Amino acid sequence: MSTTAFNAFEMAQAQFDKAADILDLDSGTRDLLRNPLREFHFSIPVRMDDGSVQVFRGFRVQYNDARGPCKGGIRFHPAETIDTVRALAMWMTWKTAVVDIPLGGSKGGVICDPHNLSQRELELIARGWIRQVAKNVGPITDVPAPDVMTSPQIMLWMLDEYETIAGAKYPGLITGKPVGMGGSLGRTEATGYGLIYTVREALQELDIRLDDTTASVQGFGNVAQYAIQLYNQMGGTVVSVSYWDQKDNTSYVVRRTEGIDVKQLLGITDRFGGIADDKAKELGYEILPGDAWIEQEVDILLPCALENQISGETVEKIHSKVKIIGEGANGPTTPDADKVIQDRGIYLVPDFLANAGGVTCSYFEQVQNSMNYYWQKDEVLGKLDIKMTSAFRAVSELAKKRKLYMRDAAFVIGVNRVAMACRDRGWV
């Protein structure tokens, strides 16, 4: 699907404007919260394996830090834009506020394609990125984390470069690190598990037994894999999952009506979430076009890939059986699609609530770094469940009380908390 006309930041601002109207925010607060506090654009020169020098464009947007140090991932993606980074930083600001953790929102990115880079080249980009922002990030300033096509290894290279510059150990600089090197147990599972915790709560509200439900998932990266794993453990059945095939730069869907087997698919998956379709066919899976994930006759849709996937055009393909959409991705649904979803009475768990498990567990990682004491996985995931469930119920109660769409209710809570912090500080 073409995204040439899509601007994620304009969409994020439109969502904010709606919440600001509901809250009746004054003009000064609106102007402050509608745009980033600060942003950085920079060049990262890298000597490639063939001896040539290639210059990569990098970004860091620190959207708002009224509630605490900025927090947000770093994406390595060939289609990265500053407006996408701005939007994601804005959503992260509301996300940390909705789950009520003492952090602000930020995001970073590099325009590059990791599929076509060696490990050495990736390392040089990672170290180059941190060198450019070393004076403007830190454990009590702005804490990066992994995101699309970045990994614990990339985080560790960045941490090592920062500590080399600073001449001291700062494990809390960055989260999503490998376990044993300051990383938290449970962090790998956190976003996917958090998504399913909120879907479980939504099903309870609708009085639907989870083990009677089926789901279709877009994406087969970290979030999707662990969401499917937990959903299956709870008794649900995922019948289809989409993936990206780097050979022909196209997405496809694997479907098996009796349910997909995550371990089986992981055995034929590359490091970027691409599934070997010939082997999938041998295992009894159908291969369908990439947009078929949204058309499946299921109870639950879980978009866990990129933004702008449920649009005014694609929303019409959603099957009449669908009762819940849980947004594992950031910004997967456009405002015009939201109108259709709301009119159809589909229960939507919005992205910055549904996928807040990642940043919540990143916060837990920072806490453990500060204490230099690390929790067991069950303790981490137990705390995550409590946080996600509490946040879900607060949003759900406001939605019912004020007769709001779930996304609007989540925005109202998040924006209001950030606005109050700005007022309390005397910024507005």
Q: What domains can be seen in the chain, in order of their start residue?
A: 39-183 (3.40.50.10860), 188-354 (3.40.50.720)
Q: Which residues are catalytic?
A: 107
Give the residue carrying structure tokens 């809250």.
23
The pLDDT assigned to 127 comes to 98
pLDDT tens column, 169-183: 999 999 999 999 999
φ and ψ at 57, to 5 degrees? -90, 130
User: How much is the average pLDDT of 357-365?
Assistant: 96
Nearest to 79 by CA among 111, 108, 41: 111
The pLDDT assigned to 180 comes to 93
Give the integer Cα–Cα distance in Å for 87 and 143. 18
User: How much is the average pLDDT of 130-139?
Assistant: 97
Give the residue carrying structure tokens 């904010």.
16
- Look over the chain and give the mean of its residue pLDDT values, rounded to a whole number: 95
Q: What percent of the chain has pLDDT over 90?
A: 88
- Residue 1: pLDDT band (50, 70, 90) is very low
Nearest to 355 by CA among 398, 313, 276, 410: 410
Res. 377: pLDDT tops 90: yes
Amino acid letter, residue 30: R
Query: pTM of this prediction?
Result: 0.92
